[in-house]
Amino acid sequence: MKMLLMQCKVEMLRIIRNPYYVFWSLLMPIVFYYIFTKIVNTGVDDAKAWQAHYLMSMTTFSVMGSSIMTVGIRMVQEQSLGWSVYMRITPLPGSIYFISKMFGQTVMHAFSVIVIFVAGFLMNGVQMSIGQWIGSGLWILVASIPFLALGTLFGTMKRVDTTSGLSNITYMLMAVLGGMWMPIDSFPSVLQTIGQWLPSYNYGSGVWSIAAGEAPGLKPILILASYLILFMVLSIYIRKKQEAV
Amino acid sequence: MENIAELEHVSKIFAGKTAVEDVSFVIPRGSVTAVLGPNGAGKTTVLSMLLGLREPSSGSVRIFGQSPKDAQVKRRIGAMLQEVSVIDGLNAREVMSMIRSYYPHPLKLTEMADLAGFTPEELNKRADKLSGGQKRRLGFALALAGDPDLLFFDEPTVGLDSTSRRTFWQQVEALAHKGKTILFSTHYLQEAEDAADRILLFNKGKIAADGTPDEIVSRLTSRSVSFIADLEDGDSYAVGEMIHRMCSIPGVRDCKEEEGRWSVTADNTDTVLAAIFRYNIPARDIRTGQGRLDDAFEVMLTHDQEKEAVSS
C-alpha cells in the first residue's frame, strides 16, 4: 500500500512537471474553446447549447490526447532509457507500477477536466445541472480507458520520436474526424460514416448527450468497449512477444 | 560456506547464436567476484540471467536457493546496470525516496545521500539534469537502497575518471568488509585483479578460467628471462647453438632476439638461468620478468584466435 501511494504520487509529479502536459492538455483546449465560442462566429442557433457542447468537445480532446500521448511516449522513454529494465529488478510488482501509472494519469485527467470546465464556466457561463457536470466529468474519465489502452499500445514501440510522431497523427486525425473540433454533421457523408465508427466520436457523443440533457446511448458504450478489448489484446500480445527473449 | 548464487549448466541462445554456453559456478557468501572478459564474451548475459531479466535457454539459475524472479530475492539484491539512465521529472531525493519505498528494510535517505556523495543542492536537482558521474553515483546509492545482501555491478566504472573510479572501489571494499556478496563485470583487467578475490574469466560465452587473481596470473602469464649475449658478430654457429640449447630446456616456449636483447619465455625461469650458467653462455644484464594479468589475458585471447583460425 505504501508502495502504491508512493508510486501514484511520483507518477503525478512527473506528469505535472512535464511542460507538454500543461501545453497540450490545458492550454490548447482552453485557447481553442475561446476561439470557437468567443471569436469565430459559428452561426449556430442555440449559442448556449453550442457552448456546452463545445466545452465537452474540448475536454474530451484534452483527455484523449494525454491518454494516448503521455502514456505511450512515457512508456517508450522508460524503455529506451533502460529505466523499465531497472524497475524489473526492484521488488516493485509490475502490476503496481502499471496501476499507479494509470491512476496517476486519471487523477491528472480529473484535474484537466476541472480546469477546463471552470474555464468554460468563467468564459461563457455555461449552465448545466450539478448532475450533468458530474456525469460529464465521470464519462470523460471512465470512457478514457480505451485511449489509455491505445497509449500502452503505442508504448510498445521502440523509438521515442516515431512514437510521438505516430501517436500525434493518430490523435489529431481522431480528434478531427471524431467531430471534436467541428461537429461531424458538417462533414461530407463519407467522412461522417468513418467518423461515427471512430472511438473519438463515440467518446464525445456520450458526453455530448449528457450535456444536452440525455443519457449516453448504448452504441457509444459498446463501440468504446470493443476498442478497449482490441487495444488491450494487441498491447498485451505485443508485449509478451517482446518479453519472450 | 553458504552459496548465494548457483548456476548449473546454463546456456543462452539468441536467435540461433550462442551467447552463453554451459556455464556453471557458485558464488559463496561474502565473496567479491569479478566476471572478466572482452566485449561480447557473455558477461552481461550471465548477469541478466542472474538478475532474472533473461530466461536461460537451458540450465538453472538460483539466487538464495530461489528463482531470481522471486520477489523475496529481489528484496535482497541491488544492482547497477549498464545503459540505465535515470527517470525524468523527479529530483535526486525523490528518486531515492521512491526506490527505497520498495524495500522492507531500506537505508535512510541520509545514508543514501552520503553513499552518492550528494550535497543538498545536488539532491534537489532533477535527476535527468545530473552529470554522467553524478548519475552513476545516484545509481550506486539506488543499488544499495534496500540494504541488499547481494550486489551486482555491470561494468561499473566505464566512463568514470580515475578519482571517481578510486572512490567507487573504496566503497566496494567497505561493502565487502560488511559481509556483502559482490559480483561485478569488467573488461578492465587491473580492476578485477585489485578489487576481486575471485576472477571468472569469460571468453566466447564460456568460463575460460576460474580462480584467485594470483592463480589466474600464474596459470596464464608467461615468464621470461632476457639478457644481452656477447656473441661474436656473424658467428652463426654460436647463435644457432644457443637457440638450440635454450629450446631444448623443458618448459621453454620461445627464444628470440629483439633489439639486441635475447628473451627466453618459459614456465620456469630458474631452469633457464641454470642453463645459461651451465652452458657458459656469455650473457650479461640478465633480467627475469613476469607478465601481468593484462598480458595473460592477451595471451589467452590471441591463443584462442589462433586456434580458431586453424580450425576454420
B221-265 pLDDT tens trace: 667 888 888 776 656 667 888 888 888 888 787 888 887 788 888
Regarding whether B269 and B159 lie in a shared domain, the answer is: no
Read off the pLDDT band of B283 (50, 70, 90).
confident
Specify the pLDDT at position B311. 39
Specify the pLDDT at position A139. 96
pLDDT over threshold 80, residue A183? yes
Regarding whether B109 and B249 lie in a shared domain, the answer is: no
**Does some domain include residue B195?**
yes
Average of per-residue pLDDT across A71-95: 87
Place of cell 613476469: B290
Q: Do B81 and A82 touch (CB under 8 A)?
A: yes
Regarding whether B73 and B129 lie in a shared domain, the answer is: yes
Q: Give the nearest chain B residue to A82 (CA atoms).
A: B84
Task: List, edge to edge, every strand of the sheet that includes B32-36.
Answer: B77-80, B150-154, B181-186, B32-36, B198-203, B206-211
Specify the pLDDT at position B312. 35
Residues 6 or more apart from A123 whose CB is under 8 A from it?
A33, A34, A37, A38
Specify the pLDDT at position B295. 62
**Does some domain include residue B37?**
yes
Q: Give the nearest chain B residue to A7 (CA atoms).
A: B98
- Residue A97 grid cell: 507500477
- Point out the domain boundary residue: B200, B218, B236: B218
Specify the pLDDT at position B305. 53
Q: Give the nearest chain A residue to B50 (CA atoms).
A: A89
| Facing residue for B79 by CB, picked from A77, A78, A89 | A89
Regarding whether B229 and B209 lie in a shared domain, the answer is: no
Specify the pLDDT at position B308. 44
Q: What is the DSSP letter of B53?
A: S
Do A76 and A163 meet the contact criterion of CB atoms below 8 Å apart?
Answer: yes
**Does some domain include residue B308?**
no
Range of the domain at B286: 222-290
pLDDT over threshold 70, residue A63? yes
Read off the pLDDT band of B29 (50, 70, 90).
very high
Please report residues of A whose CB lies closer than 8 A to that of B19: none
Regarding whether B102 and B232 lie in a shared domain, the answer is: no
Task: Tell me which of A154 and A22 has the higher pLDDT.
Answer: A154
**Does some domain include residue B306?**
no
Q: What is the CATH number of the domain that holds B237?
A: 3.30.70.100
Regarding whether B213 and B234 lie in a shared domain, the answer is: no
Regarding whether B250 and B140 lie in a shared domain, the answer is: no
Torsion of CA B20, B26, B27, B32, to 10 degrees: -60
Average pLDDT of the residues of chain A: 90
**Does some domain include residue B159?**
yes
Average of per-residue pLDDT across B289-311: 57
pLDDT over threshold 90, residue A62? yes
Place of cell 544492482: B79
Please report residues of A whose CB lies closer than 8 A to that of B75: 91
Read off the pLDDT band of B272 (50, 70, 90).
confident
d(C-alpha B194, C-alpha B179), whole Å: 18
Regarding whether B240 and B105 lie in a shared domain, the answer is: no
Per-residue pLDDT tens digits for B138-188 = 999 999 999 999 999 998 988 888 888 999 999 999 999 999 999 999 888
Please report residues of A whose CB lies closer than 8 A to that of B79: 89
pLDDT over threshold 60, residue B306? no
| Facing residue for A91 by CB, picked from B74, B79, B84 | B74
Q: Give the nearest chain B residue to A90 (CA atoms).
A: B74
**Does some domain include residue B185?**
yes
Regarding whether B255 and B132 lie in a shared domain, the answer is: no
**Does some domain include residue B166?**
yes
B201 to chain A nearest CA, in Å? Answer: 25
Read off the pLDDT band of B300 (50, 70, 90).
low
Regarding whether B191 and B83 lie in a shared domain, the answer is: yes
Q: How many domains is chain B partitioned into structurally?
A: 2
Q: What is the CATH number of the domain that holds B29?
A: 3.40.50.300
Regarding whether B187 and B124 lie in a shared domain, the answer is: yes
Q: Is any Cβ of chain B less than 8 angstroms from the Cβ of A70?
A: no
pLDDT over threshold 80, residue A45? no
Say what the pTM is.
0.78
Regarding whether B149 and B9 lie in a shared domain, the answer is: yes
Q: Do A3 and B103 touch (CB under 8 A)?
A: no
B48 to chain A nearest CA, in Å? Answer: 10
**Does some domain include residue B312?**
no
